[in-house]
Structure 1
Amino acid sequence: MPLEDLHLVLLPHITLPRLERFSTVLYVFFHSSDSNELIRTTLSPFLVNHGPTLRSLKLEAFKKVDMSSALLGLPRMPCLKSLHISHLFLGMEPTSFAGHHQFLETHQSQLQHFTFDFVGQSPALNIAIPDEFFNQEWCRVLLPELQSLSLQFHRFIIPSSEAAIPYLQRHIPTVETLIIHALQFSYEQISSILMGPTPGGYQLTRLRILDIQIWCFSPAFLSLLVRQAPHLQSLKLTASVIGPDKQPARFGRNRVPEVRRFPILNVASLEKMIKSAS
């Protein structure tokens, strides 16, 4: 239901004493409605009342709803383990992340599952996520208990962000599930993520599920997974090219003749690649 009608249902004197999961879509029906005020007077009191028992919170916001303001008004929820937020990205200037930063910082010692979905305004106005996105304060909040991390960007030009690497390096040692959609990584970038910063580095003994986009699906990449993620159980890849080349092609031209583009990876090529990696 639209935010304008929430006050008809979310009455302040009604509390579900054992509520553990809450999910809602936030939108306004009338263009002139003040979404921030509607959230402050209806949704926020409901979440405050149920904060002591909530273990999972999912907030999905459409246009004209400021997710940062929705998160800013919420206190610490002592049992919260899972957070899923989804909203429009209007650009670096008009999109505030102050609420994201405060909420993550308040719950950083307890969050185990974090899903973050960003949606571009319109399919006709695709933009790339700039490196500045991963340099925001909310991206510097370490979640030491994190077990699953999902970052998904919809309606964006597929970028390759160097700034995303330090963020992923901070969290990948603890996670069992890592899902990243619409960020495409080169061999060097994925190596930095899976091996960790030098000197030192790490081995990913907890990683079980990996779902990412890479530039080139190669024997070197498979060998890297064998070394760095020995307990991996599920692997889903979206790759642009297949072959031995480690470097991203430019302007649609391959660096070496062996690298080929496959709309669908055929079984013979996959078996050959696995044998080469082993």
Structure 2
Amino acid sequence: MRAFCYTVAFAATSADGRPSHAVVPPLPNDELTSGFNSAGALVKDPIRSSSSSSSSSSKHESDNFVERVRKRAEAINLLRYGQKSLASPDPFIDSRSLQGVQSQYCLITANGLTDHLRNCLQTCHVLDNTIEPRFTQFESFCVEAAGDVMWPDVCYNFMECVLGCKITKEITKDKSIEMIKTADRQDMFEKIDPGNVEAEQRCDMEKCRSYCVRQRLGTCHEIGYISACEAAQRGQYLPCDVDCSSAQSLQAGFATLAATVLLYLLFI
């Protein structure tokens, strides 16, 4: 399972030339006892390995992190879309609990290790015609990890675009991502979340996110967003003219993604 988490991964492209990766390096954590070298191999850190309690501390950190991501994703779904949208019939959302599947999938894939868990949460996969992790959990991961020095490129690229929208600049008083201190990123991203902005700003904020998903994220994350967006419209929690699937039709999306996955597997 661990190998699959890294195999079918889609990287975001960056307009400013920042490097993108099919597998993003793990974020730093003082409690971890391992890391990745330039070739992508898992190596032991002799300094960090000196602590006998590092393994249990890492597991505790992992549990805390995934719990924070789970709660944030639940709050996003409630504030933006309402609880009813979670149970709405959807061709890409089955009857399983959204948040339960999200957390369980990445925990199983990652064996509970924080570095692998964070890699899992920022990648995107198709399992049984379902996007895993769901888009709200991916967003939640980006916000929870925003205070890390080595913030993943996929999160940087997406949030850089969001902060560049006209509506966002009005809220943040024209602050770009480079102007926000690392320690202040999380608070700023919470401030511009569609569920937290004024009612009259919500539609424009969602249009901004829709645009940035198409511009900065890969096909897999895009389809995950389309599912959440259309479910919100059906549940009347997004009563505005956001075009959830303007970049591609939802029906054609999985065919395109399947072809991309097949080509990727044939040529690696």
Select the structure with the greater relative contact order (CA < 8 A; seq sep ≥ 6): 2
Alignment TM-score, normalising by the size of structure 2:
0.26
Larger Rg: 1
Larger fraction in helix: 2
Larger fraction in strand: 1
